Amino acid sequence: MKKLSTLAAALLAATALTGLPAFAQEHKHSEHHEHHGHGDANEYENTMVAGEIRKIDLENNKVTIKHEEIKKYSMAGMTMNFRLKATNQLDGFKPGDKVRFIPDKVDGGYVLRTVEKAE
């Protein structure tokens, strides 16, 4: 029985110790983001984002794009809707086109500031 208690205590200690480096790393990682979070948005202000048009909905003035990470907003790659600044913004584009674009956040939604076909 004493062996079992000693083994249980050792396992508990080992589990606690193995979690500490991960916690410390995670803590440093989030400190890093907080430290750079305020200045970096400007760094990515005019960065083009790669994506692919999935759907164009001119009637509702929006486009669905599957895109890579948007560093400007710390947003992972995903498929989402963007509003258009003007209905003619997508003249000559069709679903399946590879694009590069710059998004802006306006009134809680995302708008395409610029969009171009990717080569």
pLDDT tens column, 19-73: 444 444 444 433 434 434 444 557 788 899 999 999 999 999 999 999 999 999 9
Cα 59 to its chain centre, rounded Å, is 27
Instruction: Please check the confidence at residue 2 and state whether its pLDDT lies above 90.
Output: no
Q: For residue 100, how many other CB atoms are within 10 A of its CB? A: 17
Compute the distance between CA of residue 67 and CA of residue 90 in angstroms, rounded to an integer. Answer: 16
The answer to whether the CB of 54 falls within 8 A of the CB of 95 is yes
* The pLDDT of residue 79: 98
Overall average pLDDT of the 3-9 stretch? 54
Higher-confidence residue of 24 and 95: namely: 95
* The pLDDT of residue 106: 94
* The pLDDT of residue 98: 98
* The pLDDT of residue 45: 83
In eight-state DSSP terms, residue 46 is T
Tokens 């969009």 sit on residue: 115
| CATH tag, 49-117 | 2.40.50.320
Compute the distance between CA of residue 73 and CA of residue 43 in angstroms, rounded to an integer. Answer: 11
With b for 16 or more beta-carbon neighbours within 10 A and e for fewer, the 37-62 pattern comes to eeeeeeeeeeeebebbbbebeeeeeb
* The pLDDT of residue 42: 73
The answer to whether the CB of 79 falls within 8 A of the CB of 66 is yes
